[in-house]
Amino acid sequence: MVRIPASRTAVPSLPAWCVPRPALWQRLEAADAGQLVAVIAPAGSGKTVLLAEWAHHGDGTPTAWVGLDRDDADPDRFWSAVLAAVLGSGAVPADSPLHRLDDLVTAEDETVDALLDGLAALPTPIRLILDDVHVLATRTTGSRALARLVRHRPAGVRLVLAARSDPAVGLPRLRLDDGLRELRADGLRFSAEDTAALAAACGVLLDAEEAATLHRRTEGWAAGLRLAVLALRRDGGAEGTRAFLARFSGDERSVADYLGGEMLDGLPANDHELLGDLSVCRRLPDPLAVALSGHADIARRLAEIAHGLGMIERSRTGEPGEHHVHALLRSHLAADLARSRPARFRRQHAVAARWWAEHGEPAHALRHAERAEDPDLTAALLGRVGVPLLLHGELPAVRRALRGLGTPDTATTGGDPRLPLIAALAHLEAGEPAAASAQLRRARAVRAVRAVQPGADPELEALSAATELFGVAAGLPPAVDTGNRADPVDPVATADGLDTGTAAHAVAVPGDPATAGLLHLARGTALLAAAPPGDAAEARVELHRALARARTGGFAGLAAGAFAELALAAVVEGDPAGVAAAADAALDAGRRGPRPPRGGSVPSARTVALLAWADLLRGAPDRAADRCAEALADHGALAAADRYALHAVHGAAVGDLGRRGEGVAEARAARLALGDAALPGPVARALALLEHRDALLLGNLRAAGEVAAWLARRAGGGREGELMRAWSEAATGRWEAARTAALPLSRGTRAPATLAVEAALVETEAALRGNDAVRAGTALAAALDAARPRDLLRPFTLAGPRTRALLLERDAAGGAPFDARVATACAAVTTHAAPPLSERELIVLGLLPSLLDAPSMAQELVVSVNTVKTQIRSIYAKLGVSTRRGAVSRAQERGLLV
């Protein structure tokens, strides 16, 4: 036999960075007697380390280890290596005939038979591990020798093969006969937890998110993980771990060297070129691979390449007939193609862009068009698939494509207004009204030049009308309708069939489901923005039509938008239970989309605020506060209106939790920060009521008046203004005037449920203070009847003290479950509305922080000292304090002093 170096037959030592994986080798150890054990995976998958761990920590079975190389394809060397490993395992007795075989020169058949017989005669079981079996495939004789060992393996020998590809030993037959226990690449992949452990063993600590990113980038491939961690330890400190992991790919130097030296070296040139052509696509359906490569038999070609290379497999998660190339190998090949053949690289991306566009994957199509560096192709695709992308929730893809094109104008659009219209929609969705307005003006200019005849392009007319409607709802100036159908369509007229009263030109719903859904959503949004309090019926019709289109077309973004507007419709109607149902559905639809809404996503942030508003009015201020705080912390650059809404609801919630002054200050600061930014009328009215009521509860008539004036400027006082007047009259003890102001809201008008309930509660308190128990009972019953189906609880907890006492009496007599919840909430109320200070008292209060004494104040105000002292005593009583310092502190808490 040929002399074999001892290093070739020694079980490898475990590296210091080895991550124990006992569950894997225990699976191998559990193989039935007589089964062949095969560990087959690409280079760098961790086969050798796993088998060495098994040998060192397994059940104690003696291990004979052979590290094969290409020379072992020679039968003499192969059998010599097997014999040397067995003799070195410590399992061979001194009198075994195997010792005599060591002196033979060649491995003739008789010698091999004697070797196999000697193995069969061993008194104890032995584990024979052949590592790197794939090297034997270089010569037929090597494969034959291996096949003979597999075929005639002795009963007491557990034969283990480790290879990069299937050895020619009849594995399919063994699998059929249950004679095979195998572990392949998918079983060897590291988990995210293993990834973190490997990094830690190499001296790099990763948090859960970083470990997940590295795991995703490497797909759990052991060599990729090890190389990434080493590169991170070497180069990642300057830019930070997350930045390094974000850019890590197969083009990183150490990974590229490994892939080139261990995997791609020796690959035939035509196969290397084929893989390069395919590398531009992460997903690789077979028909797309045919288009990219020009090979009709691409599936067979890939199977042949995968057999020797690994790293290519049938997709586990994609559609049947789809291949997956390992992420690091693919990114390495793509980077190499871009460097060595840039024109080919761009050409392949253009092919992929057209293919994906034709097969209903607009996001993939746009991404490839951008990388093809073909503005005309990108513009054409964006005009064709931009609306479906937005309705699928793919705003980032649209914005990325638009940035790649620069500012769309008549030159880049070829006279087609679709691109600026889509750009305007994207800006509106991202909460960028100024940019949206510029794109709308550009689209109008292009349409005016084209002078398209009415009905010639119904989809374009619908897209234009929808964009104009969204713009008006966002506070942008509308288009001017000159009566020329080539001019922009009057946006209000696009709500044809829902007679808005100003319809100039009707826009038909187009046949394209995406554009039709967009038009219905735009109509509903515009109708809702102009809806009177309590009446959202017309808007609901359009929004439900949009939902129907969303379900038919699978448009997650459209569904999220429609549900978000339905939540706003419920606010218009004063129905917190309806708000919660629609808002939850909107957020759920957003989560089901391709990219969950984050950052400046308008529907998501506003919807969270509306959901928190519903929590608050349903008697859960703690949940409302938590929801707003989480949204403010998690979202990035929020639109001004969304930030205001979240802070306003949060302020009201913390007020209900006992920090009323802090809450009013938060709401006021957010309202002032809003400035002139656009805000939907229903949102403005709902939030103004919260702040106004809380200001009155603090006894701050000035702050309440400021809110009322702000609402009048923003959305007209309307019915909310009438309720504010009723509350203000009640706060100053003028209960009959309060009842008179509230009466129109509770009777004879279609007011939102919130307003009707609040007005009925004002009437109840006024009646009780006038000793009219019958009228009070009737008004309270009306309030409960209106609130019950909408789960509207908060108004009762803030009602007058006599009304709350009456509620407790009703509960003692027995009532509906909702009435019991109301009574329980009222019983828990420990704070009461503070009596407001008069204007003269506020003036004196303003002097208390100064060093002026009472005579100096009297001189300053030109009144008597007794008058000042009387007013100071009244201030102390109303604020519930007994000292000047306490009065100043309490007044600052209530916002009476800034």
Residue 320 has pLDDT above 80, yes or no: no
The average confidence (pLDDT) of the chain is 86
Q: What is the pLDDT of residues 229-256, one digit of tens each?
A: 998 888 765 568 888 888 888 888 888 8
In angstroms, rounded to a whole number, what is the distance separating the alpha carbons of residues 47 and 841? 85
- Top pLDDT among 492 and 316 is at 316
User: What is the pTM (predicted TM-score) of this model?
Assistant: 0.74
Lowest mean pLDDT, pick from 210-219, 447-456, 852-861: 447-456
- CA nearest 717: which of 681, 749, 752? 681
> And the tokens for 885?
């310092």
**What pLDDT is attached to residue 310?**
81
Residue environment code for 102-128, b if the CB has 16+ CB neighbours within 10 A, otherwise e: eebeebeeebbebbbebbeebeeebbb
Question: Contact, 589 vs 559, CB < 8 A?
Answer: yes
- Find which of 139-143, 262-266, 457-461, 555-559 is predicted with most confidence, using mean pLDDT: 555-559
**What pLDDT is attached to residue 111?**
84
Consecutive H or E run containing 233: helix 222-235
Residue 412 has pLDDT above 50, yes or no: no
Strand partners, 367: none
Q: Which amino acid is at 718?
A: G
Residue 309 main-chain phi, psi, to 5 deg: -95, -35
Confidence of residue 503 (pLDDT cuts 50, 70, 90): very low
3-state secondary structure (DSSP) of residue 714: helix
- Find which of 262-276, 288-302, 494-508, 835-849 is predicted with most confidence, using mean pLDDT: 288-302
**What pLDDT is attached to residue 191?**
94
Q: What is the pLDDT of residues 728-784, one digit of tens each?
A: 999 988 999 999 999 888 775 678 999 999 999 999 999 999 999 999 999 999 999
CA 489, 491, 493, 498 torsion-angle sign: positive
In angstroms, rounded to a whole number, what is the distance separating the alpha carbons of residues 618 and 821? 10
In angstroms, rounded to a whole number, what is the distance separating the alpha carbons of residues 498 and 192? 55
Angle, alpha carbons 752-753-758 (nearest 5°): 105
Say what angle helices 556-572 and 681-697 make with each other, to 10 degrees: 50
**What pLDDT is attached to residue 716?**
84
3-state secondary structure (DSSP) of residue 39: strand
**What pLDDT is attached to residue 635?**
62
Residue for token pair 């908060």: 794
**What pLDDT is attached to residue 246?**
86
> And the tokens for 165?
């590809």
